[in-house]
Each structure stands twice: as C-alpha cells, then as structure tokens.
Amino acid sequence: MLVRELLTRDVVQVRDTSALDAAVRVLAEQRVSALPVVDATGRLVGILSEADVLRLHVSADPRAHLRPVDDGPAEPWPATVGEVMSADPVVAHESSDVADVARILADMGWKSLPVVRGDGRLAGMVSRSDVIRALSSRDADIWLRVVRDFAELDQSTWRASVSRGVVTVTGVRPGGDARLAAALVATAPGVRDVVIEAETD
C-alpha cells in the first residue's frame, strides 16, 4: 500500500504566524495530537504537537504540594506557533510505502506523520489509526480487490485465496509473472503478506 491510498487529506493546519493560544485551542477542540504548520505558500515548515505545548511554562498548583512552591516568575508564552513548533519534521510522501510509515510510527511512538507532495506542500496526515483501519480490511474485501486487479491484467489463470490478510496466489509462472503478481497484490489495502506458489514445469 502507498500512503496516498489511506492518508487523511482534509486536515486542520495552522500557519507559522498563527497565534499560539488559538492553535492550542484547536488542538484541544479537534482532539488531535499534532497540527501541521505551513507557511504562506502552503509548504510544510513544522509540526505543533501536544508535547511542544507541554514544554511551555505551566504554573504549579500549591494545593498539590505540602510546602509553598516558588517556581519563579511566570514565563510568558510565545506569541506565535512558529516560536514553539518542531521545525523540519520527519515527513512521509504520497508515494511512500505504508510499511515504512508503520515502522516509523511504531519505533518513534508518534501518532501521526505529515504527508507532503513533491513540491513540499502539505498533502495531509497519515496516522496510526489510518494504518490500523487499512490493516483491518476483511479477507473478502481484499480478495475482491485482488481478483479485480487480476482481471484488469487479463490474468485469468491466476488464483488468490486470503486468510487473515495473507494472500496466496497460484497459477502464476515463475519469474516475471510471479514478481508482477506479488507486486500487484501488495498494493491492496489490508494485505499483510503475499505468498506466491508458482507453477513448476
């Protein structure tokens, strides 16, 4: 699967010049963990995450402490998103492999990644839930997609069966046909693995 097949395109974004207070309200109201930050041309320049906000000064509540707390004078929050955001974030591209994105999200513990077009403009976001939704496809839906793709290539001898997201393909010749079938099946949403049982002479 490619990222362009499952990303969320209609995402809330903020400008680097946007007021930080307003952006924090958007995080809370939209219940998202991060907002992509763009410049005037729509190019991605950063990410404003919940973690970025939590690093700002938050006054201690004296009721939670036995002794009075003096955490010094309150530091005013920065005025704009650009002063707080994480610049130059890791991104995915529309042509990125979902398998690579899944590994990044899992290894880094992130909930989402911004997706950019070739010119650097924001295309959307891909989240852990987007990937999970794709992986939760029913075997019957995967089978229908694979069979349709085989028919479009006029490959009437190719057969597919699906069990728990693993697609087994039979009726293909070794070599180029086997590689083509494997590549084609791997594009279907929900496919976890591909097994090619090529015919032998």
CATH class of this structure's domain 139-197: alpha beta
> Which pLDDT score is estimated for 199?
81
Q: Domain limits of the chain?
A: 3-135, 139-197
Residue 115 CB coordination number (10 Å): 25
| Contact predicate 150/160, CB 8 Å | yes
Q: What is the mean pLDDT of residues 47-69?
A: 81
Question: How many degrees, rounded to 5, is the angle at CA 69 between CA 54 and CA 66?
Answer: 110
CATH 3.20.20.140 fits 3-135, yes or no: no
| Span 16-39, pLDDT tens digits | 999 999 999 999 999 999 999 999
Q: Model confidence at 4, in pLDDT bands (50, 70, 90)?
A: very high
- Domains 3-135 and 139-197 alike in fold: no
Hey, what are 87's tokens?
Answer: 């610049």
64-109, pLDDT tens digit by residue?
A: 776 776 666 667 889 999 999 999 999 999 999 998 999 999 999 9
Q: How far apart are CA 156 and CA 197, in angstroms?
A: 16
Q: How far apart are CA 136 and CA 101, in angstroms?
A: 17
